Amino acid sequence: MKIKVNLAPYLLLSGAVAVLFVLTIYPLIFSLALSFHKWSLTKPGPWRFVGLLNYVSIATNPVFWQIILNTSIFTFSAVGLQFTIGLGLALLFSREIRGQNVLRSIVVLPMMVPPILVGLIWLFMYKRDFGIINYMLGLLKIEPIAWLSKPLSAMPAVILADTWQWTPFMFLLLLAGLRSLPREIYESSQIDGASSWQIFRYVSLPLLKPIISIAIIIRFMDAFRVFDKIFQLTGGGPGVATETISLYIYRNGFRYFNMGYAAALSYLAVIMIIAFSMIYIGVLRRVGER
């Protein structure tokens, strides 16, 4: 009995699979293999297999843990701020307000600016001698602050720049979520005498949960990988006060050219992002079940 196999779908998919393999799968396998070797771009010679030595070296380096702490502080603070402000703006714009189209366009503008330019803009704004922020402080008779020169102010300064740029993203997603909620539930809540806060707490938030979880996961993954702004604003300084994992990987890979070490760092970063995502989704699911 002859079995007819329809090859057409496979042939049509083969192009996409080939591109996926070349651009994603192969580089992943290559860098995983590299992470178990020592290889420097500036020293001739083949790869040298060192097993888990790169990973051990990373784990025993106190600078690495400082950088993980910095990355966590940056990520959680920035995403938290962006969510809070974004939700507030979304709630405001979910009602009919005059000029909302124009206002919405203005609110969304920062997201259109390339991250490296955002870093440059805020770098000039933070300048102690001629930055606009210190100028405004001067009008209030406050001494100018060297924002990027002190560890305590450098990280908040970087978080603020990131929040300025990416709050519109949260705002757009949450506004779309709010606008998609059924009006009948709000009307029946109002008829039942629920206050605005009760409606928000017991109606809007639970219904928005899927959108919120997507927005936070996407922003978390982006914020964890932040590079451009910090590269431009502080270069990771003062000391390592604002150095995050992406900048550390860049420094090891493209300044010191320790490619094996940088590959190992990259994999550890991926593992952390995956771990957080799995924990976050698990927590959401448990909360949802309750």
Partner 1 sequence: MRKWICLIIVALVFAGLGQGLAAEKPYAGQELKISLIAGFTTNIGLKTLIPEFERETGIRITIIETGYGAILEKNVIDLSAQTGAYDVLHVESLWFAQYLPYLYSINEFMEDPELFNAAEFDLQDLTSYTPLTLSAFTREEKLYGLPHLAGIPLNWYRKDLLEKAGLQPPQNVDEYYAHAKKLTRDDVYGVALSASRTGLVDEWLSFFFAYGGALRPRPEAFLKTTFNNPTALKALDLYKRIYDEAAPPQSLTWEFGEVGSAMQRGVVAMMWNWSNGGSWYDDPEVSKVVGKVGANVPWPGRFGVNGLCIPQDAPNKKAAFEFMKWATSKDIMRRTTLAGGSTPCRTSVLTDPEITRKNWWFEALRESGKWSTMYLEIPEWSSIDDALAIEFQKVLTAGLSPAKALETASGNAYKILKEAGYFE
Q: Would you tell me which residues interact with partner 1 (CB under 8 A)?
A: 40-44, 57, 63, 127-129, 146, 148-151, 234-241, 251, 254-258
Nearest to 154 by CA among 51, 90, 235, 47: 235
Q: Are 115 and 229 in contact (CB under 8 A)?
A: yes
CB of 164 to partner 1, least distance (A): 20
DSSP secondary structure letter of residue 235 = T
Given the complex with partner 1, which of 20 and 63 has the nearer CB atom? 63
Given the complex with partner 1, which of 48 and 209 has the nearer CB atom? 48
CB of 148 to partner 1, least distance (A): 5
The residues facing 258 across adjacent strands are 40
**Angle in degrees, CA 54, 40, 265, rounded to 5:** 35
CB of 154 to partner 1, least distance (A): 9
Given the complex with partner 1, which of 29 and 41 has the nearer CB atom? 41
CB of 270 to partner 1, least distance (A): 22
CB of 251 to partner 1, least distance (A): 7
Distance CA 213, CA 32 (A): 30
Backbone phi, psi, residue 40, to 5°: -120, 135
DSSP secondary structure letter of residue 240 = T
| CB atoms inside a 10 Å sphere around CB 233 | 23
Residue 192's SS3 state is coil
The residues facing 48 across adjacent strands are 38
Given the complex with partner 1, which of 40 and 72 has the nearer CB atom? 40
Q: Are 122 and 157 in contact (CB under 8 A)?
A: yes
Cβ-based burial of 109 (10 A; exposed 0-12, middle 13-18, buried ≥19): exposed
CB of 48 to partner 1, least distance (A): 10
CB of 246 to partner 1, least distance (A): 14
Given the complex with partner 1, which of 250 and 280 has the nearer CB atom? 250
Given the complex with partner 1, which of 80 and 144 has the nearer CB atom? 144
| CB atoms inside a 10 Å sphere around CB 64 | 17
Given the complex with partner 1, which of 219 and 229 has the nearer CB atom? 229
